[in-house]
Structure 1
């Protein structure tokens, strides 16, 4: 596969912060706080287990998020919604441990908004032809930014990023509800890399995941703005595929005319008292020469 042409950073410049573009090659930040923040801001309950896994639960107990750095697999983020507390989840979403944190934050931010609207928003299943729930709406941000549909295969429709290094797959037909929640065999499968078998990162969403939540992720993934990362952690991962631009600290602001006047005034010598200023005239006697040495 032909890789995008990009200038490779020199070994001497590996230190420092960089912008990574396209953003689907940025990788995770390794920090979970931004993804949890939108839900904690609503007063959701946060608790930890003895392995430092974090669990966040909505006040009505119908949405649960697990941040699982010590989980049984690479599913770092697992979010499930319930219509009945004693029944299986209505929908489930998973982001693995390499997924850019900004994509998770986009999802949890949209989830927080949906929760404030009520169950009709955060439990609303996709509905083809519906003005707000048509599954196609989740793909629109990708189309608008140059992603292109790939040839369908095995009941799977795929749309790929311009560099062919990120893919969103939609599977048609019947799927096992339990497998959708515990494996990558889900209705929606978003991943980056050259192969779905060994993706750089992935995210999945089950059949009844609300469309606005999915759209928030595709909008964020396809955003052309780069993501900031620490170069030492991203260089080996994106070498030869992404554009790395050093983040230069901002320079001093351009001085305004008022700043210039103030600076000039501050450098002027202070005026001497009037009584100490010598007054000279053409009639003043010249100073007498001092004794020779």
Structure 2
């Protein structure tokens, strides 16, 4: 059975590198680590879902129809302005968002302020990138740029804006470039958690239709399920005639060989006739 175009578009693949996989279209992976936190469904605004820590200091918002798909903030208390904000756009794989939400879920307690710590150095936030072999690239004054070996992802640190950090992946463009932006107050170890998820070599699963045509040649696609066995094509009338003729010739050949072998093996053995013995001539009797 051959795949139709529609079947191929809905087929699932393992996609690597993951930072080029794009969004899966669902928020479940990003919300997985905080699934036990309070959920607030908002039907009327652009933000469709907010998941908060039990004390409401951490807020994770999902904007299902916007360019900026995720907005995550942390504050001193439930009513204070955010200390920091992280924004992930609609092309960012949710598995990278999961890196940050998992770190927040691990650190939050009612008495903890780890997720509010003031940043010390931008270098900590991109350490996973350097560990994965990414290199610094030329950048304009007051900025730092780090690029992946394939040139398709990187990090941009703007020290003119108090070391705000942007992680990016994919060709420039609305439908192809993934971006995650962290304001200057974001603790570097939390940015590092997202950076580690960005360089994770484990592939992610996507349907073929989720891979942008401009990105498809940059990724490795491995089918989740192997190809189903394909039926052999039906023989043509000419094939049928050829098969029949070949079979008839084979039967005839076998029949002839069998007859010859039967004759050889079943012929009765006849003893050879005795050789004739020459008669002894009669000699005349002598006269006395």
TM-score computed with the length of structure 2 as normaliser = 0.69
| Cα distance, 1:148 vs structure 2 | 0.9
How far 1:66 moved relative to its partner? 1.1
Structure 2's unaligned 5+ residue stretches are 228-288
Shift of 1:195: 3.4
Task: Give runs of ≥4 in structure 1 deviating > 4 Å.
Answer: 11-15, 196-199
Q: TM-score with structure 1 length normalisation?
A: 0.68
User: CA 1:136 to 1:196, structure 2 compared with 1: closer, same or farther past 3 Å?
Assistant: farther
| 1:47–1:54 CA contact under 8 A, matched in 2 | yes
Q: Determine which of 127, 144, 157 is the counterpart of 2:131.
A: 144
Separation of aligned partners in 2, 1:53 and 1:173: 34
Alpha-carbon deviation of 1:157?
A: 0.4
The alpha-carbon distance between structure 1 residues 165 and 117, as it changes in their structure 2 partners (threshold 3 A), is farther
Looking at structure 2, the residues matched to 55 and 226 of structure 1 have their Cα atoms a distance apart, in angstroms, of: 28
> Residue 270 of structure 1 aligns with which residue?
none
Counterparts in 2 of 1:174 and 1:229: CA distance versus 1, 3 Å: closer
Once residues 13 and 47 of structure 1 are traced to their aligned partners in structure 2, the CA distance between those partners, rounded to angstroms, is 34
The 1:30–1:93 alpha-carbon spacing in structure 2 relative to 1, beyond 3 Å, is same
Q: Residue 107 of structure 2 is aligned with which of 114, 121, 132?
A: 114
Structure 2 residue aligned with 1:227:
204
Name 2:182's counterpart in structure 1.
Answer: 205
Q: For residue 19 of structure 1, report the CA deviation from its aligned partner.
A: 1.4
Please say if 1:49 is aligned against 2:43. Answer: yes
What residue ranges of structure 1 are gaps of 5+ in the alignment?
1-10, 129-134, 176-185, 251-293
Task: State whether structure 2 residue 144 is matched by structure 1 residue 157.
Answer: yes
Change (3 A) 1:245 1:45: closer
Give the alignment's Cα RMSD to 1 decimal.
2.8
CA 1:87 to 1:46, structure 2 compared with 1: closer, same or farther past 3 Å? closer
CA distance, structure 1, for counterparts of residue 180 and residue 113 of structure 2: 24
Residue aligning to 2:166 = 189
Alignment partners' CA distance in 1, 2:137 and 2:221? 28
Shift of 1:244: 1.3
Residues 64, 150 of structure 1: alpha-carbon distance in 2 compared, 3 angstrom cutoff: same
2:81 to 70, 79, 88: 88
Aligned residues: 223
* Conserved? CA contact 2:22–2:93, under 8 Å: yes
Residues 157 and 249 of structure 1: is their aligned pair in 2 closer, same or farther, counting only changes over 3 Å?
A: same
User: What is the Cα deviation at residue 49 of structure 1?
Assistant: 2.7
Output the CA distance in 1 between the equivalents of 2:17 and 2:168.
14
State the match for 2:30 in structure 1.
Answer: 35
Higher Rg of the two aligned structures: 2
Partner of 2:117: 124
Among candidates 105, 118, 121, match of residue 98 of structure 2: 105
